[in-house]
Amino acid sequence: MSRLKLGIPKGSLQEATLDLFSRAGWKITLGSRSYVPAIDDPEIECLLVRAQEMARYVESGALDAGITGHDWVVETGAAVDELSELIYAKQRLARVRWVLAVPEDSAIREARHLEGKVIATEVVHITESYLAKHGVKARVEFSWGATEVKVPQLADAIVEVTETGSSLRANRLRIVDTVLESATVFIMNRTAAAESWKREKVENLILMLQGAIAAASKVGLLLNVHRDDLPTVLAVLPALKKPTISALSDPDWVAVNTIIEEAVVRQILPKLKAAKAQGIVEYPLNKNVL
Amino acid sequence: MSRLKLGIPKGSLQEATLDLFSRAGWKITLGSRSYVPAIDDPEIECLLVRAQEMARYVESGALDAGITGHDWVVETGAAVDELSELIYAKQRLARVRWVLAVPEDSAIREARHLEGKVIATEVVHITESYLAKHGVKARVEFSWGATEVKVPQLADAIVEVTETGSSLRANRLRIVDTVLESATVFIMNRTAAAESWKREKVENLILMLQGAIAAASKVGLLLNVHRDDLPTVLAVLPALKKPTISALSDPDWVAVNTIIEEAVVRQILPKLKAAKAQGIVEYPLNKNVL
Amino acid sequence: MSRLKLGIPKGSLQEATLDLFSRAGWKITLGSRSYVPAIDDPEIECLLVRAQEMARYVESGALDAGITGHDWVVETGAAVDELSELIYAKQRLARVRWVLAVPEDSAIREARHLEGKVIATEVVHITESYLAKHGVKARVEFSWGATEVKVPQLADAIVEVTETGSSLRANRLRIVDTVLESATVFIMNRTAAAESWKREKVENLILMLQGAIAAASKVGLLLNVHRDDLPTVLAVLPALKKPTISALSDPDWVAVNTIIEEAVVRQILPKLKAAKAQGIVEYPLNKNVL
Amino acid sequence: MSRLKLGIPKGSLQEATLDLFSRAGWKITLGSRSYVPAIDDPEIECLLVRAQEMARYVESGALDAGITGHDWVVETGAAVDELSELIYAKQRLARVRWVLAVPEDSAIREARHLEGKVIATEVVHITESYLAKHGVKARVEFSWGATEVKVPQLADAIVEVTETGSSLRANRLRIVDTVLESATVFIMNRTAAAESWKREKVENLILMLQGAIAAASKVGLLLNVHRDDLPTVLAVLPALKKPTISALSDPDWVAVNTIIEEAVVRQILPKLKAAKAQGIVEYPLNKNVL
Amino acid sequence: MSRLKLGIPKGSLQEATLDLFSRAGWKITLGSRSYVPAIDDPEIECLLVRAQEMARYVESGALDAGITGHDWVVETGAAVDELSELIYAKQRLARVRWVLAVPEDSAIREARHLEGKVIATEVVHITESYLAKHGVKARVEFSWGATEVKVPQLADAIVEVTETGSSLRANRLRIVDTVLESATVFIMNRTAAAESWKREKVENLILMLQGAIAAASKVGLLLNVHRDDLPTVLAVLPALKKPTISALSDPDWVAVNTIIEEAVVRQILPKLKAAKAQGIVEYPLNKNVL
Amino acid sequence: MSRLKLGIPKGSLQEATLDLFSRAGWKITLGSRSYVPAIDDPEIECLLVRAQEMARYVESGALDAGITGHDWVVETGAAVDELSELIYAKQRLARVRWVLAVPEDSAIREARHLEGKVIATEVVHITESYLAKHGVKARVEFSWGATEVKVPQLADAIVEVTETGSSLRANRLRIVDTVLESATVFIMNRTAAAESWKREKVENLILMLQGAIAAASKVGLLLNVHRDDLPTVLAVLPALKKPTISALSDPDWVAVNTIIEEAVVRQILPKLKAAKAQGIVEYPLNKNVL
């Protein structure tokens, strides 16, 4: 039987990824040889690989597909297909930025001020491309971690990843510029992508992962409403979603069932009540495929 | 933009409160300055304040509204509006009692036996009111905590809070009288309550909190039943709830969807089966607004 | 009031059992006297008892009913009624096997090679029956635990319980034969089983436990489909389940609601989408009674 | 090279035993195969074995020597040599008693009241010997643990191990009689004990273990005293210990160095000060061999 | 037998106090009734009491003696004897200051700027005395804790305890003035202090506690030196300590044994080596009574 | 005042290093800005730096001195002085080897078999030097960690650090060759090493660190012996150590005090007893400078 060799990111993305797969329908279990986790699908073979190394191994064919950051695809320059962004809802892993940052009181205010300076970063190639684009010469030093504490003693500036900027602020750093935006991506080896079985397997996997991601930020709403009040109730619901309206035994009343973003429920629910909806119930979803 | 200054109780109620807000649709995150938690609603500004001090700060206007115990409103004598009781379902925080308790073998059997005795308590004013009401003179000492272990070595009696009485029994104490009943309440500053924007904001907040509280003790039931058996099935369901009955493609059958207290499911479900209901499914709820 | 004396298995099955009862509608709370847990049903009195000792105490009438393994019923030879297997879904407690195992390089290849050997096991009687059945004489030693590490230094073979065999492989053991298959069972004292009140109480309990077990491996699927596409959609759904099809306000469309095994969702959902189902939603269940 | 096969007790005694060996000069390390711990002495091979099974395996020669309780030697009836009691100082493992215990309000007041009763215990043979000695017939049931919670529901009496009796009191049990006193013992296989190399190895091991045990409850005291005050100071020190008295450069003064029980320091030190001792210093010991 | 009723401070000082007693020779064990810890001295009866309440209960005679902070003696105004300061070495509990603190950018620069302001503090009486001394009128509010986060939203200034000031700085507060200096003290009831048995018991206890405190910051130094080099070596050692100099079998050499502050070893040891001391050994102490 | 800028290795060596400094007499405390730990010596300024980056920053002068591995000095090619090896006793950090390792069943048996292969390692330069020395061409890939699980799926061979080889064996790898031996070293910037104040400060620091290291594997032995038996006792003690022999008040007896390796005590102590030594006491050391 053919099997899909799939790289799961080890480290900070690992737990969120295993949780996402679980919600999508695949149970991945770490065993005694924890780098080869078990998965309850005989058509898939998993390998835990660091996000930084994923693209390299997908490019070489050691893996057919994998989940990593767009940033590491760029940094390694690996020739792979980026099939789909995975914006893990309710997880901390939405979009991130690699930024050029300096101490709050630094004289560096824009890229050209970096001339002759020392920059510490985990993404040496991305940083060098950025400097080249701005026609600046500076020394870029590979940092093994804890980059944000290296200025000013050990470097003049850093290029570091951030989501909200709060860690940078806590270290009294100022963001000078955005060097690269990134998100988690599902990547695939180009030869494997040309095999129809592997391609279809991967597409179904992405469908389910996206279904689980979509469901995590949504809920179902059920309510009863008198036919006279139906237009008012429908006017409150988001226009894009087409609710399911079903008949009740009492012909004057209908049941409305709709899927909406959880984040808007707190605004919509008081309005639904004002519009005379009754027996309003919000229920959780596992998956949602439009 | 106007913002509602909202006090969240720090300490024993804190985790349950954050969980309740999360289920109601507001995510509150403790950050590095943990007494000013972040909330994902730009119209609200949170402050973590001890339940004991909440009423004082809502009275002074330092906060517009807050969640605390009715007991602390009484103890501090703060002039605030108690808008709504919040009986957190599935949490340990329903109603509590402040009771007068003594060692099992104490001669104190009623309030008047306290004459000339020493009473340790965290609620000095409530206790003094109680003594005054009974025309008894006794020394009331403020206790910094662990009050139930102070008798008999350090005090003759205590006034202490209890939910089930089990901690008192474990300390071999006997309850003599109930001094005050209390529950968690949503309180509001009187000036703020007169501002329409703040008032409406608070009312919507309470609507959603109560919706989440109601849902926590309820579940949805879905079942199919032949029209001939419908009266028998409906007879089993609690009379007060009006179930949603919808037509199926087979005109002889209908689907019934109803919301009931989780606690009665174990009694009702065997009867539904006996009444020939089919495909009975119980599903969880997030919110329920009647 | 009559009360059912119910034994809850202490130890490895304990947490899963408390969780199952919670999902079935009974909250069992461990208190200070942790062997007599509290249960929120005045008709039941719980006692925590080791699985190994459960059948003995149900037989003697100290308990009316209990949950234990079929293996311990056999090992103790207790005369009790095994009413129902409980295959806890999503728990690790499905079916287990007691197997005869030896070191990978042992010369023992079948039962008759055990002649004159030393066997360590927790189930001495089961093992002796097995030997008797094969006409073999060997010394069977009671093992207090950690049996799988006793070969080869302390025993020639072991009879040990296993679910997947992974612990045996990790200890470099080879399975020679299956000695007994077992599962968790609900057992009842024979005199108690003849009392109609106790019998009915136990049957309702089992109904709810099985309802919770069934729900744990299933999910609900909701979708909308044009009447023209309904046959294609129905063809995709598992044949045995009869979905609920209800009318929508738009007469050309229907809503389909069905309960399916969670494990097949990842295969069915892509096909439903191909069959033009819309607004597909998967939602979780608490209980499912067919 | 010849090696001593030594059994280390797994479970409640394990940590204290590893700590004792460490203080005696042998480092035992639990590895991936945790039942065969590594020891930094090529002449010893360790095996972790339950205390209950130790005597059986030392008798059979699977082990040359081991550490277990005297009680388990008696219970298993194993023919082994008990070489030395090990009273682990500062550990909870001094001497224990197996006692016959009943509920506080039981009518059982002495052994003969057990006639026809059910007794639960982990030491079936010891209990049966005790009954035989008293000419009483009762049913003795093997208990897998948590024996003290079995009365009165599941047994009439228990035979259980206790050190201080506090766990029995907490369970509201009354001690009727002492069935057996026990302590930790170092046991040896009789054939191995006749081999001079193994015998000497074991004796040196015991010497070091006892040296570490002795040191744990003792401390060193150093002080300076004028020759005139020496008799007063010596009168304060325990008579049995001969202190080391050494000359100082000032011929009028001497230094006294002695080893005493830590428990008496708090009584002796104020008296030494009163006797004009100066520069009194207490220092810790690792080992003490008299 | 007479017993000394001794209060042990519950809470932040608790662990350090139990550790100090253990090093002084008394083992205090928290049991199931954790407010009445066991102590291995039949002449002492312990009670865990909050530091804030200790002086009140020592004053009333509920306790004979206790350990608390000087600050709480002042705050409660209790008439007790402060017998001895206990500067727990190597613990965080040396001396502390209650300081008046304000936000970094506050206009309050000295006591008189407090006129009409709100001050939050746990020590209401100490703060009121301070204000009275400076002739200032302000509102002093009792704070239940987390005082340092109350400015500026809930108070204008605070009076809070600090050791190094780092927590205040982390909250961006500025210290305006020191209100009270405090340290841990051993206090005694005045009637009890007049009973000779109790007085002597307490004095011996303090002797041992101070002996353990002194030892914690000191070490022993042992070295050999040629008589010719002895003056140089002695010149390096702190002048106040009289080292023990003892004869060796080789009459040209002597051994020097001395007790010094651990903190100076790193300065002295290189000098001792330069002065030709040999075989220098530093060893730990348990107690040191001068 | 001049200050020594000292790099402390962050990560796996960190805890052992802080513990070593503590035993040597310097207390280093991690604070809120954990990369700049506090040290109780105003003449030193600490910075936490990864071992991999230490040599680079000592070379550049950002640090005056630091502790790192010899391997990282070689890998970075930094021009720094390696002043002293620090073999942390009782820690896991003695000497390590970087080895070339392959799967157990690999055909690679010596360096020349690597031609054309892929090698994963954290030390790319060291590995390339090794290949150049053997005249072999292979692709060396930087590994971000978990290198030992990369063969055979992701690489043909690895160069990985090992102490005992057990982690390699657990991953079923075979060691082909040793590429580099390494130990923890104290390194110094060459310019700083030429400044006398910094040089002396560093030398005293190393003296104390080595004193603490030496003491950790040693203990003191004290014993009394009759002058007649002294030669026999001295013959048992290690020849190289000169024990301190001091006179006692009884002229027939002497006291012997010596420092020996803890590892040999278990061999020597039984012989000392046989040689009629009395009152043998072993005591712990803090530091030992010869």
CB contact under 8 A, E281 and F220: yes
**Shortest CA distance from C58: residue in chain D:** D154
Is B224 in the C-facing interface, judged by CB distances under 8 Å?
yes
Give the per-residue pLDDT at C164: 81
Contacts of F35 in chain A (CB under 8 A): 146, 149
Name chain E's partners: 3 or more CB pairs within 8 A.
B, D, F
Contacts of D273 in chain E (CB under 8 A): 207, 289
Give the per-residue pLDDT at E89: 44
Q: What is the mean pLDDT of residues A14-23?
A: 92
Give the per-residue pLDDT at C91: 46
pLDDT one-digit tens code per residue, C34-68: 688 999 999 999 999 999 999 999 999 999 999 99
Name chain D's partners: 3 or more CB pairs within 8 A.
C, E, F
Distance from CA of D65 to the nearest CA of C (A): 14
The DSSP line for A2-71 is: --EEEEEEESTTHHHHHHHHHHHT--EE--SSTTS-EES-TTEEEEEEEHHHHHHHHHHTSSSEEEEEHH
Is D236 in the E-facing interface, judged by CB distances under 8 Å?
no
CB contact under 8 A, E269 and F211: yes
Amino acid at E103: P
Residue C158 forms beta bridges with which residues? C101, C120
Q: What is the mean pLDDT of residues A191-211?
A: 95
Chains E and A touch (3+ CB pairs under 8 A): no
Beta-carbon contacts below 8 Å between C and D: 39
Interatomic CA distance for residues D21 and F269, integer angstroms:
15
Evaluate if residue B196 carries a pLDDT over 50.
Answer: yes
pLDDT one-digit tens code per residue, C191-209: 999 999 999 999 999 999 9
Q: Are D178 and D111 in contact (CB under 8 A)?
A: no
Is D215 in the F-facing interface, judged by CB distances under 8 Å?
yes
Give the per-residue pLDDT at A33: 63
Contacts of E257 in chain D (CB under 8 A): 222, 255
CB contact under 8 A, E50 and B144: yes
Q: Running DSSP on this structure, what letter comes out for residue A221?
A: E
pLDDT one-digit tens code per residue, B66-123: 999 999 999 999 999 999 999 874 444 568 899 999 999 999 999 999 999 999 999 9
Look at residues B249, B258, B253 and name the one whose alpha carbon lies nearest to residue B225: B253
What is residue D139's three-state secondary structure?
A: strand
CB contact under 8 A, B246 and A263: no
Q: Which residue reads 């044949």 in tokens? A: C239
Distance from CA of D149 to the nearest CA of F (A): 44
The DSSP line for E17-62 is: HHHHHHHHT--EE--SSTTS-EES-TTEEEEEEEHHHHHHHHHHTS
pLDDT one-digit tens code per residue, E173-223: 999 999 999 999 999 999 999 999 999 999 999 999 999 998 988 999 999
Q: Are F163 and F138 in contact (CB under 8 A)?
A: no
Name chain C's partners: 3 or more CB pairs within 8 A.
A, B, D
CB contact under 8 A, D33 and C149: yes
Look at residues B258, B251, B217, B253 and name the one whose alpha carbon lies nearest to residue B237: B258
> For residue E242, what pLDDT band results from cuts at 50, 70 and 90?
confident
Q: Are B154 and E57 in contact (CB under 8 A)?
A: yes
- For A57, the closest of F49, F52, F154 (CB atoms) is F154
Q: In this structure, how many other beta carbons lie within 10 angstroms of the beta carbon of residue E200?
A: 11
Give the per-residue pLDDT at B91: 46
pLDDT one-digit tens code per residue, F53-95: 999 999 999 999 999 999 999 999 999 999 999 987 444 456 8
Q: What is the pTM of this model?
A: 0.84
- For A32, the closest of C170, C278, C283 (CB atoms) is C170
Is C211 in the B-facing interface, judged by CB distances under 8 Å?
yes
Is E206 in the D-facing interface, judged by CB distances under 8 Å?
no
Give the per-residue pLDDT at C166: 82
Q: Can you read off the two tokens belonging to residue E11?
A: 């809470």
Amino acid at A271: K
pLDDT one-digit tens code per residue, A26-72: 999 987 666 889 999 999 999 999 999 999 999 999 999 999 999 99
Is E154 in the B-facing interface, judged by CB distances under 8 Å?
yes
Is D193 in the F-facing interface, judged by CB distances under 8 Å?
no
Is A219 in the B-facing interface, judged by CB distances under 8 Å?
yes
Q: Are D39 and D231 in contact (CB under 8 A)?
A: no
> For residue B250, what pLDDT band results from cuts at 50, 70 and 90?
confident
Task: Give the sign of the dihedral formed by CA C5, CA C10, CA C15, CA C17.
Answer: negative
Beta-carbon contacts below 8 Å between A and F: 37
Give the per-residue pLDDT at E1: 60
Name chain F's partners: 3 or more CB pairs within 8 A.
A, D, E
Is E167 in the F-facing interface, judged by CB distances under 8 Å?
no
- For F286, the closest of E249, E263, E284 (CB atoms) is E284
Q: Which residue reads 């008797």 in tokens? A: C132
Interatomic CA distance for residues D128 and D98, integer angstroms:
13
Substitution target in A32, A35, A59 with the highest count of F β-carbons within 10 Å is A35
> For residue B207, what pLDDT band results from cuts at 50, 70 and 90?
very high
> For residue E2, what pLDDT band results from cuts at 50, 70 and 90?
confident
Give the per-residue pLDDT at A146: 85
Residues 42-101 of A with CB under 8 A from F: 47, 49-50, 52-53, 56-57, 62
Evaluate if residue C153 carries a pLDDT over 90.
Answer: no
Is F251 in the D-facing interface, judged by CB distances under 8 Å?
no
CA E167 to chain centre: 19
Give the per-residue pLDDT at A94: 65
What is residue F157's three-state secondary structure?
A: strand
Q: What is the mean pLDDT of residues A3-15?
A: 92
Contacts of E219 in chain F (CB under 8 A): 286
Q: How many CA atoms lie within 13 A of D116 on its CB side?
A: 1
- For A224, the closest of B41, B244, B254 (CB atoms) is B244
pLDDT one-digit tens code per residue, E32-63: 666 889 999 999 999 999 999 999 999 999 99
pLDDT < 70 regions, chain D? 1, 32-34, 89-94, 239-241
ipTM of the complex: 0.84
Contacts of E68 in chain B (CB under 8 A): none
C81-85 and C173-188 beta bridge pairing: antiparallel
Helix, strand, coil percentages, rounded to 5, for chain C: 35, 35, 30
CB contact under 8 A, A50 and F10: no
CB contact under 8 A, D259 and F266: no
Give the per-residue pLDDT at F164: 81
- Sequence-distant (6+) residues with CB within 8 A of C181 are C70, C95, C96, C97, C98
CB contact under 8 A, D254 and F255: no
pLDDT one-digit tens code per residue, E111-154: 999 999 999 999 999 999 999 999 999 999 999 888 998 998 89
| Residue B274, Cβ density class (10 Å: 0-12 exposed, 13-18 middle, ≥19 buried) | exposed
CB contact under 8 A, B35 and E10: no
For residue E152, cis peptide bond before it (omega within 30 degrees of 0): yes
E-assigned strands of chain A? 4-10, 28-29, 38-39, 44-50, 65-69, 81-85, 95-103, 118-121, 139-142, 157-162, 173-188, 218-226, 244-247, 253-261, 278-284, 287-289
pLDDT one-digit tens code per residue, D208-243: 999 999 898 899 999 999 999 999 999 999 865 678
**Directed axis angle between helix E196-216 and helix E14-24, to 10°?**
100
CB contact under 8 A, A269 and B289: yes
Q: What is the mean pLDDT of residues B133-143?
A: 95
Q: Are C88 and C199 in contact (CB under 8 A)?
A: no
Residue A90 forms beta bridges with which residues? none
Residue A97 forms beta bridges with which residues? A162, A181
Evaluate if residue F284 carries a pLDDT over 80.
Answer: yes
Helices then strands, counting H and E runs in chain C, come out as 9, 16
Q: What is the 3-state secondary structure (H, E, C) of chain B?
A: CCCEEEEEEECCCHHHHHHHHHHHCCCEECCCCCCCCEECCCCEEEEEEEHHHHHHHHHHCCCCEEEEEHHHHHHHCCCCEEEEECCCCCCCCCEEEEEEEEECCCCCCCHHHHCCCEEEECCHHHHHHHHHHCCCCCEEEECCCCHHHCCCCCCCEEEEEECCCHHHHHCCEEEEEEEEEEEEEEEECHHHHCCHHHHHHHHHHHHHHHHHHHHHCEEEEEEEEEHHHHHHHHHHCCCCCCCEEEEECCCCEEEEEEEEEHHHHHHHHHHHHHCCCEEEEEEECCEEEC
Interatomic CA distance for residues A255 and C247, integer angstroms:
11
Interatomic CA distance for residues B92 and B164, integer angstroms:
10
- For A289, the closest of C170, C273, C283 (CB atoms) is C273
Is D10 in the C-facing interface, judged by CB distances under 8 Å?
yes
Q: Which residue reads 């590995």 in tokens? A: F127
H helix runs in E91-134, sequence order: 124-133
Q: Which has the higher per-residue pLDDT, C232 or F170? A: C232
Look at residues D289, D21, D201 and name the one whose alpha carbon lies nearest to residue F275: D289
Is E141 in the B-facing interface, judged by CB distances under 8 Å?
yes
CB contact under 8 A, A33 and F149: yes
Evaluate if residue C16 carries a pLDDT over 50.
Answer: yes
Interatomic CA distance for residues D17 and A4, integer angstroms:
51
Is C262 in the D-facing interface, judged by CB distances under 8 Å?
no
Q: Are B187 and B55 in contact (CB under 8 A)?
A: yes
Task: Give the sign of the dihedral formed by CA B205, CA B207, CA B208, CA B212.
Answer: positive
Q: Which helix (H) or strand (E) holds C273?
A: helix C262-274
- For B170, the closest of C24, C32, C288 (CB atoms) is C32
Distance from CA of C190 to the nearest CA of D (A): 18
pLDDT one-digit tens code per residue, F4-47: 999 999 988 898 899 999 999 999 998 766 688 999 999 999 99
Interatomic CA distance for residues B216 and B24, integer angstroms:
11
Work out the percent of chain F whose per-residue pLDDT is above 90. Answer: 76
Residue A143 phi, psi dihedral angles, 5° rounding: -110, 135
Interatomic CA distance for residues E230 and E227, integer angstroms:
5
